[in-house]
Amino acid sequence: MPHAILHHSDLGALGITPERLADAVFNGLEASELFDADDIKVRIVPVTHFRNGRDDYSFIHADVRIMPGRTPDQKAAMADMVLAAVKALDTPVVSVTVEVSDIDRATYAKSMTAQGAGTHRA
C-alpha cells in the first residue's frame, strides 16, 4: 500500500514517458515517508477518450488509495508531495489533480502468488 492509479491524456503530447510519470508519483509517495518503498504501487491507465468541459484540455489525475489510519494532515501533505513531483516534470499539462482516499478494509481482498502467500482480508 499505497496504490496510485494514474489516469492521463496523451503523454506524448506532453513530452513525457509513462516511466517518468510513474517514477515522479513513486518518488512523491516515497517522500511522504508514510510507506516503505517496496509497498508503493503505481499503475498507469491512459485515457484516449475524454471530455473536460468545452476545451478538452490535457490532464494527469492520481487516485491514491491507502489503508485507513493516516491523519487528514498526512493525507494532504502526501497529496501535495505527489502534486509537486508531477508538476516538477515541467510539462505543458493543463490540469494535475491528486486524490487520496481510504480503502474500506471490510471490502478489500488481496491474493498474492510467488512472493506472497494466499488470499486474505486486510
In this predicted model, what pLDDT tens digit does every residue of 30-51 receive, in sequence order? 999 999 999 999 999 999 988 8
Residue 101 lies in a domain: yes
Q: What is the pLDDT of residue 121?
A: 46
Q: Domain range spanning residue 78?
A: 3-105
Lowest mean pLDDT of 19-33, 44-58, 68-82, 103-117, name the range: 103-117
- The answer to whether position 122 is within a domain reads no
Query: Is pLDDT of 52 > 60?
Result: yes
Q: Please, which pLDDT band fits residue 26 given cuts at 50, 70 and 90?
A: very high
The verdict on residue 21 lying in a domain is yes
Nearest alpha carbon to residue 66 among 109, 107, 101, 31: 101
Instruction: Evaluate if pTM is beyond 0.85.
Output: yes
Q: What is the pLDDT of residue 51?
A: 85
Instruction: Output 114 or 59, whichever has higher pLDDT.
Output: 59
Res 117 pLDDT > 60: no
**Burial status of residue 92 (CB atoms within 10 A of its CB: 0-12, 13-18, 19 or more):** exposed
Q: What is the domain count for the chain?
A: 1
Q: What pLDDT sits at residue 114?
A: 77
33 within some domain = yes
CATH number of the domain residue 63 falls in: 3.30.429.10
CA distance 62 to 7: 7
